[in-house]
Structure 1
Amino acid sequence: MPIVGQSTETTDWVSRFADEVIEESERRAPGKPVVVASGLSPSGPIHLGNLREVMTPHLVADEIRRRGHTVRHLISWDDYDRYRKVPAGVPGVDDSWQQHIGKPLTSVPAPAGSAYPNWAEHFKAAMTTSLAELGVEFDGISQTAQYTSGVYREQVLFAMKHRGDIDAILDQYRTKKAPAKKQQGQKPVDEAELEAAEGSGAAAEDDGSISAAGYFPYKPYCGQCEKDLTTVTAYDDDTTELTYVCADCGFTETVRLNEFNRGKLVWKVDWPMRWAFEGVIFEPSGVDHSSPGSSFQVGGQIVGIFGGKQPIGPMYAFVGISGMAKMSSSKGGVPTPADALQIMEPQLLRWLYARRRPNQSFKIAFDQEIQRLYDEWDKLAAKVTDDSVLPADAAAYARAVGTAAGELPKTPRPMAYRTLASVADITAGAEDQTLRILSELDPANPLSTLDEVRPRLDKAEAWINTHVPADQRTVVRAEPDTELLKSLDDEGRASLRLLLDGLDTHWSLDGLTHLVYGVPKVQAGFSADAGPKELPPEIKVAQRTFFALLYHLLVSRDTGPRLPTLLLAVGQDRVRKLLAA
């Protein structure tokens, strides 16, 4: 649906940033493509918090494209960062990877069994696949390739020449109290939320080191052990001769920086250098960059040394995970975009990022809450269809279902996620039974093939199989519970007869809903069609008692999937066998 041309009173946060970015781009670089940027470090699984680093500029870039402008969304893969820590819980990785700490991520072996040549490529690949499914268009830049091919040589030499100016800026903050936080990979596990900033290159607050020879914003990787545990001991501005010594292996050498490519600028200098080099207009940053002395704040001053300007940079807040603990991407087991896309359609995941302003935290559900989120999404879709939706909600919906390039592939007939999950739970993936049940939901408009409800059906089935504990799965009884049936009083037996007598004429989702809620009404002397206002409070108690009886007789539990769905799934013959008193 179109979202261009909305009034400023009703536009969403994406449109407001797009207005600002277009105006700023025309001021700084008229006639040139608008440049927005993200930075990701493939130091381990790239998680759903890191995805906000990408989705925020993606949504803004996409809005700008919708308005007819040319946009470049750069994703800088910080794959030339040092390997800081061996992540826990990564398959194919053990303590032997400790020996690689300090090397560039592209020099670290990939986990055992990986199809990729190194650590960085292994984790980049999963994220790249997820971004394609999410419809994110971007230009990827490998920082390993940039540095080792000499693309940044002039910038490196310039930074070394102006190291005194850089040091003076950094020194303003060195005596200030450090923000109360730990660095990437060192945050304690917490049940509340997943910090969006972790795992991005921006989380490493390296500003270089001061030795007897002075301050240097450049750190070589050792020519013998490949690690960055090096100290520059001498540098000549005229010849660019640089001498360093490695604290790990003791190796030392003198190189000419105007032809040496095995090293990089320290983070607090590297980031603003790239802003100037690429002409970045918009790049968000995590909450850990908003305190004094953090890389984004300091970068805003250092970028001027390189002749550039700081991008428009909104702070983005935490992404919470419902049902999973907070952890950094070095901890292992952290949910990634691929994990989310296994259980939800890309439209829903896009919507979660689009509907909240960057500085608002939100949660992504891996537990039962996903069913409520899907209900909310389907209600929004219905409002869009009947044109009763609020403008900002309509904009978020449009950004979720497609991009400037077109709509994302979608489920042709999107049945309720909770219904599909219940059916998948009961049938354990048997396609013939699944098709039978789903066709009986609406006999007037039956399914002809399960492809009509895919991929949503597949996502719901994956959620049941991977996130619902075994003791919460639904197992239909094979034989009647004769002891319970014999113990029923006359009223209990009568309620089951009323239900069984109505199965033939009510065998659809709506019909069975009417029937199971109607039995207690009829037993109490009311019409099955009686509304809540016509009924005494006792009817609700009677309904709950009746429902509990049915659950016990069908699945030996107090609760389970919605009864109409459960009855359809079990099938008339088996229902009659299990409920015949």
Structure 2
Amino acid sequence: MHWAEKIASQLIEMHPEQQAFVCASGISPSGSVHIGNFREIATTYFVSKALEKAGKEVRFIFSWDDFDRFRKVPNHVDPGFERYIGLPYSKVPCPFGCHSSYAEHFEQEFEQALMAFGITPEFIYQSREYQSRRYNPAILQALCRRGEIYDILMSFKTGEASAEDRAAFYPVHVYCEQCGKDSTTVVDFDDQAETLTYTCTCGQHNTVSVPEAAIIKLHWKIDWPMRWGMEGVACEPGGRDHSSETGSFNVASVISAQIFENKPPYYVPYEFISIKGSHAKMSSSSGNHYTPADLLKVYTPENLLFLFAKYQPNAAFHIGMDEDVLRNYAEFERFREAYPSPALPEEKKAALELSMHHVTEAKAPSFSQVSGILPLVDFDFELLKEIMARNGGGHNEELLQQTANRAEFWIRQWVPQRMITVNTEPDIAYYQTLEPGEQEWIKDFCSLLRREGMDEQELMTEIYAICHDKDKKIMKNNQKRLFKIIYQFTLNQQEGPRIPVLIQVLGAGQLLDLLDFS
């Protein structure tokens, strides 16, 4: 059983009478949402689909924490934006002048990427929720029970509690009515009058009615459990940083039960994803990340979702844009080709079904094959289409074009070493370095090129026979060596497209010009 189906089964077992489930995730729009953050929403998406498959109704919500304070200017944003630190993200101007706010810019960027995956949660914008005063009764409740909240928070810390700190503790941030920032200090709360008094470094001093205020926000570890109860959340994932023994989830769970009297949701901890070759954590502010939109220029949405679905949430993995791309495509294409064979492992079958809307829909052509041919034809789509038609054909032209676009972008942007230049002159010096037996292989290969009427299977059988040896291990190594020699003579490198494709693209005549030394 797939891990998402196990979680769905456990949820149903925990709530046998429940027909509808709320699955939640959320992110702060501090910058471009990266692929590490995407694991949270992908995890929620898979559990939601598994619940629906089990016949349950699902409300899949995604919270934008855009009432959080703007903490740090990302590397790709004008350093002058430092003057906005302390404002809520929803009040910071768009750094690129194309949206109404900083928050909206990065929210829209991510929401558009999600559409490509077919992921359509109900988006909740916390700046609107807080300013609508929907949460004010819960804020008032937290303020009235602030001493108990302080005790809970301190029970998870190694530092000692003090009566003085307890009396001065308030579980809220206040955005100043004058400067708009949270550079404020709460100096008093009157639980009888239900008023809060604050001062700000800008000079503001005011008393506000808590039930009417639109400038107060709960601290994160109180805000999170408050929203669990408000939305009736049954399941929510959280990153490794929230999942330790003294982490946010365990703290919030106690606050949820003791202060808001709500049972915490089923929690799915997930590991971080890393960029291959980098030991640094992905970060929106540092720019050390891939966004979903970045990866969609190379991967199909289905392939990316499959990559996330095949790993348990608590398993770390990395994403690279090197030759790993070919390996990830090959794995996805292999399993999809095998679907729905009984030989296909159930977990992989489920991962495919969770990653795709319809597993039986038209298949895209092989990414490896397309990326191998494109440089040989100088990225000419019409020539690519012609060669692909001769090698099996039947490809949907739109899917072929999409695959070609992704392959070209990948080659030009990430693996320029795959830009192939066909040799124009025979390399006599290299030929002279070959062993006599290897020279004979090339002569035999040229003889095959002169023969006509062989189909691909016959041709490859004859080519493999050139290197025949009783010892199968030696024969296999000889065959690999032959192909490397052919690629060196034709492309001046050690690898290339499949030999039949190379013959089709260059033609037997051009190959003979480069390989015939008789």
Question: Which residue number corresponds to residue 103 of structure 2?
Answer: 120
Aligned match for 2:80, one of 64, 83, 96: 96
- Confirm or deny that 1:67 pairs with 2:54: yes
Contact 2:8 2:51 in 1 (8 A): yes
Contact 2:484 2:494 in 1 (8 A): yes
Cα distance between partner residues in 1 of 2:377 and 2:277: 25
Aligned match for 1:398, one of 343, 353, 358: 353
TM-score by length of 2: 0.90
Aligned match for 1:22, one of 6, 12, 20: 12
Q: Which amino acid aligns with 1:357?
A: Q
Question: Which residue number corresponds to residue 441 of structure 1?
Answer: 391
Q: Deviation per CA, 1:498-523: give whole Å up to 9, x if none.
A: 323323547765455445433333xx
Question: Which residue number corresponds to residue 519 of structure 1?
Answer: 466
Q: CA deviation at 1:271?
A: 0.3
- Confirm or deny that 1:241 pairs with 2:228: no
Q: Which amino acid aligns with 1:16?
A: K
1:517-556 equivalences in 2 (<5 Å): 517-521=464-468, 534-535=470-471, 537-556=473-492
Contact 2:381 2:401 in 1 (8 A): no
Question: Which residue number corresponds to residue 423 of structure 1?
Answer: 373
1:104–1:513 Cα change, 3 Å: farther
Residue identity (%): 32
Cα distance between partner residues in 2 of 1:50 and 1:408: 26
1:428–1:106 Cα change, 3 Å: farther
Contact 1:160 1:217 in 2 (8 A): yes
- Confirm or deny that 1:567 pairs with 2:482: no
Gap regions ≥5 residues in structure 1:
1-10, 178-209, 527-533
1:360–1:492 Cα change, 3 Å: closer
Aligned match for 2:244, one of 277, 287, 291: 291
Q: Deviation per CA, 1:402-456: give whole Å up to 9, x if none.
A: 2xxxx2795x3433321111122333421122112212323xxx34763353533
Contact 1:413 1:453 in 2 (8 A): no
Aligned match for 1:56, one of 43, 47, 52: 43
1:176–1:211 Cα change, 3 Å: closer
Contact 2:152 2:254 in 1 (8 A): yes
Q: Secondary structure at the match of 2:207?
A: strand
Cα distance between partner residues in 2 of 1:258 and 1:452: 56
Cα distance between partner residues in 2 of 1:408 and 1:108: 43
- Confirm or deny that 1:83 pairs with 2:70: yes
1:197-208 equivalences in 2 (<5 Å): none
Cα distance between partner residues in 2 of 1:510 and 1:158: 76
- Confirm or deny that 1:320 pairs with 2:239: no
Contact 2:239 2:271 in 1 (8 A): yes
Contact 1:35 1:74 in 2 (8 A): yes
1:219–1:246 Cα change, 3 Å: same
Q: Secondary structure at the match of 1:234?
A: strand
Aligned match for 1:129, one of 112, 116, 130: 112
Question: Which residue number corresponds to residue 151 of structure 2?
Answer: 168
- Confirm or deny that 1:149 pairs with 2:139: no
Cα distance between partner residues in 1 of 2:50 and 2:119: 12
Q: CA deviation at 1:98?
A: 1.5
- Confirm or deny that 1:250 pairs with 2:203: yes
Q: Which amino acid aligns with 2:223?
A: D
Question: Which residue number corresponds to residue 142 of structure 2?
Answer: 159
Contact 2:353 2:359 in 1 (8 A): no
Contact 1:496 1:579 in 2 (8 A): yes
Contact 1:211 1:233 in 2 (8 A): no
Q: Secondary structure at the match of 2:411?
A: helix
Cα distance between partner residues in 2 of 1:565 and 1:240: 78
Q: Deviation per CA, 1:133-156: give whole Å up to 9, x if none.
A: 212231100001101121211111
Aligned match for 1:450, one of 387, 397, 415: 397
Q: CA deviation at 1:211?
A: 6.6
Question: Which residue number corresponds to residue 310 of structure 2?
Answer: 355
1:216–1:395 Cα change, 3 Å: same
Q: Secondary structure at the match of 1:280?
A: coil
1:565–1:99 Cα change, 3 Å: farther
Q: Deviation per CA, 1:237-270: give whole Å up to 9, x if none.
A: 22232221223x3333222222220231110110
Q: Which amino acid aligns with 1:233?
A: V
Aligned match for 1:311, one of 244, 252, 265: 265
- Confirm or deny that 1:275 pairs with 2:211: no
- Confirm or deny that 1:12 pairs with 2:2: yes
Q: Deviation per CA, 1:176-230: give whole Å up to 9, x if none.
A: 59xxxxxxxxxxxxxxxxxxxxxxxxxxxxxxxx879621111111223322121
Q: CA deviation at 1:280?
A: 0.5
- Confirm or deny that 1:227 pairs with 2:214: no
Question: Which residue number corresponds to residue 264 of structure 1?
Answer: 217
Q: Which amino acid aligns with 2:507?
A: G
Aligned match for 1:340, one of 295, 299, 311: 295
1:467-506 equivalences in 2 (<5 Å): 467-468=414-415, 470-481=416-427, 484=430, 494-503=440-449, 505=452
Contact 1:322 1:369 in 2 (8 A): no
Cα distance between partner residues in 2 of 1:116 and 1:512: 59
1:375–1:314 Cα change, 3 Å: same
1:494–1:440 Cα change, 3 Å: farther
Say which structure, 1 or 2, has more relative contact order (CA 8 Å, 6+ apart): 1
Q: CA deviation at 1:487?
A: 7.5
Q: Which amino acid aligns with 1:253?
A: N
Q: CA deviation at 1:117?
A: 1.8
Give the alignment's Cα RMSD to 1 decimal.
Answer: 2.7
Q: Deviation per CA, 1:58-88: give whole Å up to 9, x if none.
A: 1111111123321101101111111111122
**How many correspondences in the alignment?**
511
Contact 2:275 2:289 in 1 (8 A): no
Gap regions ≥5 residues in structure 2:
none
1:563–1:325 Cα change, 3 Å: farther
Q: Which has the higher helix share?
A: 2
Cα distance between partner residues in 1 of 2:372 and 2:104: 38
Q: Secondary structure at the match of 1:84?
A: coil
1:214–1:487 Cα change, 3 Å: closer
Aligned match for 1:380, one of 331, 335, 340: 335
1:513–1:224 Cα change, 3 Å: farther
Q: Secondary structure at the match of 2:339?
A: helix
